Amino acid sequence: MTVAQVLFTQGFGARRLCAGLVAAGAVRIAGRVMDDPAEGVPTAGLVFEVDGVAWPFHQPAVVMLHKPAGYECSQKPRHHPGVMSLLPAPLRQRGLQPVGRLDEDTTGLLVLTDDGALIHRLTSPKHHVPKVYQVTAKHALDDTQLRRLAEGVVLDDDPAPVRAVAVARTGERTLALTLAEGRYHQVKRMIAAVGNRCEALHRSAFGALALPADLPPGAWRWVEQAI
């Protein structure tokens, strides 16, 4: 792949702009200024610099974001800032999309990628990818409520009961809830169906991926492992 093609695939702008960055001496690989846009470079393990900022080559791109409250997952946010504004311009330029959505007031792990096949695999109901949520309820949670969440509750849009894969009490008003499907406001509606109310919601894991303790709200990181 040429140096200009590398920049283009990694979201650094239109082809002409990428060629211009190379010609202007803004790109380095292994400390060497790459001034020929047509020079070929291997992409395996490639780390390049643009204006002094190092970028690892990823094709496709998969990142995790610690979503703060007050951000929308929509591509066209209406009432709050969008989560895409928390990512650097090259990731926005290359068309990353959130894998599923978290409500505006929900925090925690959000996966974003430009890999359509991965998005389908992680969101398709057929694959039952587990997601773990940390729930804070308004009232104390009793054993009956936890049992009903595990056995299944009926929501108002479907007569078939929905159930949690796992339910674990973590405090008087808190629990860890694992789901393998994703319906509209599902956690909040399940908590309401057992006679309580969800006061705060945080996603701590998605598939095999857990939110790192050292990733602060609003920060992002490349995902190198399988999800």
Residues with active-site annotation: 103
Environment class of residue 180 by beta-carbon count within 10 Å: exposed (0-12), middle (13-18) or buried (19+)? middle
207 Rama sector, left if φ>0, alpha if ψ -120 to 50, beta otherwise: left
DSSP-derived pairing of the beta strands 62-67 and 47-50: unpaired
Backbone angles phi, psi at 223, to 5 degrees: -100, 120
What gap in Å lies between CA 36 and CA 114, rounded to an integer? 28
Task: Work out the number of other CB atoms within 10 angstroms of the CB of residue 50.
Answer: 17
